Structure 1
Amino acid sequence: MQAGFRIHCSKGGGGFPGAPHPTVCPPSLCPPPCLSFPSPRRQLLDKDTFSKSDPLCVLYTQGPDTKQWREFGRTEVIDNTLNPDFVRKFVLDYYFEEKQNLRFDVYDVDSKSPDLSKHVRVDVATLQFCANKLDKKDFFGKSDPFMVFYRSNEDGTFTICHKTEVMRNTLNPVWPAFAIPVRALCNGDYDRAIKVEVYDWDRDGSHDFIGEFTTSYRELARGQSQFNVYEVVNPRKKMKKKKYLNSGTVRAGWLGFLPPRTQINFTVAIDFTASNGNPSQSTSLHYASPYQLSAYALALKAVGEIIQDYDSDKMFPALGFGAKIPPDGRVSHEFPLNGDAANPSCSGIEGILEAYHRSLRSVQLYGPTNFAPVVNHVARSAAAVPDGSQYFVLLIITDGVISDMAQTKEAIVNAAKLPMSIIIVGVGQAEFDAMVELDGDDIRISSRGKVAERDIVQFVPFRDYTDRGGSQVLSMARLAKDVLAEIPEQFISYMKAHGIKPQPAPPSPEPPGTPPPSQPPGATWGHAEPLTQGLFCLYYY
């Protein structure tokens, strides 16, 4: 199989942030059928004094058994421009079973000599960041956040090297991608500390400090990994408040989001069985005091606030199971928390919490603990739209004591054929052996001799993310990473299994006259990783 490349460097996008070297194509992009650089705001570094640079792009390949780079080909030289659009293409043999690293170096040509050492290489990193739940600084509205990047110097001081745009009236900003010379960011030392400060913009220039974090170019070069997330910390608040956690989180990301035609639908199911204890007693997992949320409410709020940004209308069907419900006291395993069987949706996480607390006052905790009905409930919705236009995620919050293991396994095996994933959050101190078995990371679950087509279950024990008393979440960033860890690959596996082709991402701005990039014929789903705003990053193989 062969893959063709057409190189386009618009306003400096010449680097790959997901690679150990800024100009090394990360494995997840090696090699796509077509490659086009995005268009951040900063231009290629101008290396000429009296004119603009004369860029040339050189492609290097690595042999399968050696790390030595070999020149594969060069583009033509584009005179006097910082936004080159190279015409020459490279055609390479593509071996699916091999990791094929590619390196693109951009040079400013100063003479007719073919010796590249006589020309200047321009290493440019292209980065994008998004934040979640930043502190609110404005009295009448949300914050207007922007970030300031500082390069550390040998004497321990810091020098400003970049400021992002101001994103107006939001606590969950997604900043536009930008390009920056690697030398300006870290002076060529990939492990040198980079300090990032987050501010709330004020018209009078007295910008409010939200918090800060430190990183390095080597860490940023991992791109949109679930590990590349940073807690924004305000040192003064941390010293004054014992329970202070952070002032929000920032994730280093990249372009290429979930196709806009795919709608994510979340459903929440809460365990109302008697094994949770009497809600009026402090030992119950459903017990709430005026000063503290119940274990269920805390888990729902923490996990729900992570996932709600990925549901466009933020209307969540919310179900309960394992309780006797009014008016006749029958036991139900899929009753609507809002009392409306025709429309069980609640508005946002706060709407679910309100319905949850109302249900606690009106139902009787009972049993048994059956998961199969709520799994089948969501599976029926997923079965109605198998074309990839919608994907369903069921969040089950439970104390871990399951009664219908055989039926639940059968329901999961059947659901594995559908556009659907399941997140199970275990609350309390019980043993969660059954939940680990359903997770299926080590052994794919089976039922009646049939093995699940895909692994669609992710289990998270909530106690691993709270303090000893279980009253507060210690790290929302770590919880977010683990809750969403497997959903992207589960989504991709469904699309691949059903032959659903990816849709092209929305095109980034291009210079006038540049034809829009198109998805190559035969493109397939590639690797996927979580991203705080946008959920998945999708790459073409």
Structure 2
Amino acid sequence: RRRICVCFHSGIPGKKCGTVILSAEELGNCRDYATMQFCANKLDKKDFFGKSDPFMVFYRSNEDGTFTICHKTEVVKNTLNPVWEPFSIPVRALCNGDYDRTIKVEVYDWDRDGSHDFIGEFTTSFKELCRGQNQLNVYEVINLLGPFFPSQVSLLSFMTLTSLFLKGNPSQSTSLHYMNPYQMNAYAMALKAVGEIIQDYDSDKMFPALGFGAKLPPDWRVSHEFPLNGNVDNPYCNGMEGILEAYHQSLKTVQLYGPTNFAPVVNHVARYAAAVQDGSQYFVLLIITDGVISDMAQTKEAIVNAAKLPMSIIIVGVGQAEFDAMVELDGDDVRISSRGKVAERDIVQFVPFRDYMDRTGNHVLSMARLAKDVLAEIPDQLISYMKSRAIKPNPVPVYSPSDEPPTNPV
């Protein structure tokens, strides 16, 4: 990056000369877009009648220490706890590709006459925003000119289009969904490794398989719970081979697209589990993802609600992205919570696929280790549900010699 100062001098004899200084900054070669969403809690009340009509203004910091407006949110009327709509912005406009550069955000109460009341401000950076929704992206809104008021702005979701391109066109070798004619991609390998173990615990081996984050023909609407086999009325696939076949076929017909929402598929399985809570069935949801998540708050709420149902969730992360959001969903260190409600049980197990890639190329050993660690918590999760509902196992049937089928003579 460069700073360029150009001085223009113009003068007429006998009159004072003027000087114009032009400062310019070279734009970084960054073509990414960022999509994000914010909410606020307990904003300062500025209107005498009613509450406030808050909006936010984002500023990019310049190399000379000044700030330039790069985005304004919409106004949310009459609330102290607004949830603004998601918005997309070029990363160049936000920070010129400098991930550590300060981003200043001001919060105002909108007034019809244009004299908007200043509520407060906070600073962040693109690097901090990339962490997604977590405690580090909850900001105190400070007004140094007024009395202290405990207002907060929180990041609800964050995503860059770079992640989508990595996930994108399956015909490109850079895609995590790349269909290599000689070997399975990471999605297929993870599905096969885990699925071939858990399928033996299903009597008919018929499994509903759903995709999320894609545009579907013919109207190319975005869906977050579409059947891989294309059959809305019957999304079931016959065994792991059937799921893999449906997965490969879907890649030829849908257009992978953001945002990436987990909550719809979690709620989809939860509806099945809610209908059978007598202990006769237990549901396991396997999610294979590149780590991008756009609806963290909604997903956490869905998991908290599902924790009281007979179900477990396995998440396998593929690719080289940071999986901080997936670790948070796992809940091993801190039990997941939503809206002040803590999950009744820990039902999520997350593992990063890259940790199981054998350097010698022994995929059989790698997949065996992956399946072992992924399924390690399922037995305890199942037992914890049964105990919480006081459901006892059925007695072991007693067989008499007469129950044995006759043997065929040799």
| TM-based fold match above 0.5 | yes
Q: Does 1:490 align with 2:378?
A: no
Greater Rg by CA: 2
Q: Which residue in the other structure is 2:88 paired with?
A: none
Whether 2:268 is the aligned partner of 1:371: answer no
Measure, in 1, the Cα distance between the counterparts of 2:361 and 2:320.
Answer: 10
Aligned in 2, Cα 1:433/1:472: closer, same or farther, shift over 3 Å?
A: same
Whole-angstrom distance in 2 between the partners of 1:480 and 1:361: 28
3-state SS in 2 of match to 1:359: helix
Shift of 1:336: 0.3
The equivalent residue for 1:286 is 177
Q: Aligned in 2, Cα 1:511/1:415: closer, same or farther, shift over 3 Å?
A: same
Aligned match of 2:279: 388
Deviations 1:303-323 (A, max 9, x none): 211211111100000000000
Say whether the 8 Å CA contact 1:274–1:367 is kept in structure 2.
Answer: no
Amino acid at match of 1:311: D
Select 1:361's aligned residue among 252, 273, 279.
252
Letter in 2 for 1:309: D
- Verify the 8 A CA contact 1:467 1:473 in the aligned structure 2: no
Match of 1:345 in 2: 236
State the alpha-carbon separation in 2 of the partners of residues 470 and 356 from structure 1.
24
Matched, 1:500 2:372: no
| Distance in 2 separating the partners of 1:429 and 1:508 | 53
- What amino acid is the match of 1:486? E
2:358·2:366 contact (CA, 8 Å) conserved in 1? no
Distance, in Å, in 1 between the alignment partners of 2:360 and 2:229 is: 30
Distance apart, 1:467 and its partner CA: 2.7
SS in 2 for 1:390: coil
- One-letter identity of the residue aligned with 1:448: R
Instruction: Give the conservation status (yes or no) of the 8 Å contact 2:165–2:175.
Output: no
**Alpha-carbon distance in structure 2 between the residues aligned to 1:335 and 1:447:** 26
Tell me the residue number matched to 1:335: 226
Question: What displacement does 1:446 show?
Answer: 0.2
Residue equivalent to 1:316: 207
Aligned equivalents of 1:304 and 1:297: distance in 2? 10
User: Quick one: distance in 2 between partners of 1:507 and 1:273?
Assistant: 56
Partner of 2:363, secondary structure, is: coil
What are the within-5 Å matches in structure 2 for residues 68-467 of structure 1? 274-467=165-358
- Give the whole-Å Cα distance in 1 for the aligned partners of 2:170 and 2:396: 48
2:212–2:261 CA contact under 8 A, matched in 1: yes
Tell me by how many angstroms 1:353 deviates. Answer: 0.8
Q: 2: distance between equivalents of 1:397 and 1:492?
A: 25
Q: Structure 2: how far apart are the matches of 1:289 and 1:486?
A: 33
**RMSD between aligned residues:** 2.2
Deviations 1:488-516 (A, max 9, x none): 1111111111121221233477999xxxx
Which residue of structure 2 lines up, in the alignment, with residue 123 of structure 1? none
1:54-77 Cα distance to aligned partner (Å, 9 max, x none) = xxxxxxxxxxxxxxxxxxxxxxxx
Distance 1:508 1:429, change over 3 A: farther
Tell me, in whole angstroms, the C-alpha distance in 2 between the residues paired with 1:404 and 1:297: 25
Tell me: CA distance 1:326–1:507, structure 2 relative to 1, closer, same or farther (3 Å).
same
Q: Distance in 2 between matches of 1:346 and 1:480?
A: 21
**Conserved in 2, the CA contact under 8 Å of 1:324 and 1:363?**
yes
**SS of 1:368's equivalent?**
coil
What is the DSSP-based 3-state SS (H/G/I as helix, E as strand, rest coil) of the residue aligned with 1:463? helix
CA drift at 1:370: 0.6
1:356: Cα distance to partner?
A: 0.6
| Change over 3 Å in CA distance of 1:455–1:296 after alignment to 2 | same
Q: Is this contact kept in 1: 2:189–2:367, CA < 8 A?
A: no
SS in 2 for 1:393: strand
Q: Is the contact between residue 317 and residue 346 of structure 1 (CA under 8 Å) also seen in structure 2?
A: yes
> What TM-score does the superposition give when structure 2 sets the normalisation length?
0.56
Offset, 1:468: 4.2
Aligned to 2:76: none
With over 3 angstroms needed to count, the CA separation of the structure-2 counterparts of 1:373 and 1:274, relative to structure 1, is farther
Please, which runs of 5 or more residues in structure 1 have no aligned partner?
1-271, 513-541
Structure 2 residue identity aligned to 1:458: Q
In 2, Cα distance between equivalents of 1:501 and 1:442: 30
SS of the aligned residue for 1:407 comes to helix
Residue type matched to 2:236 in 1? S
Kindly indicate whether structure 1 or structure 2 has the higher relative contact order, using CA contacts under 8 Å at least 6 residues apart.
Answer: 1
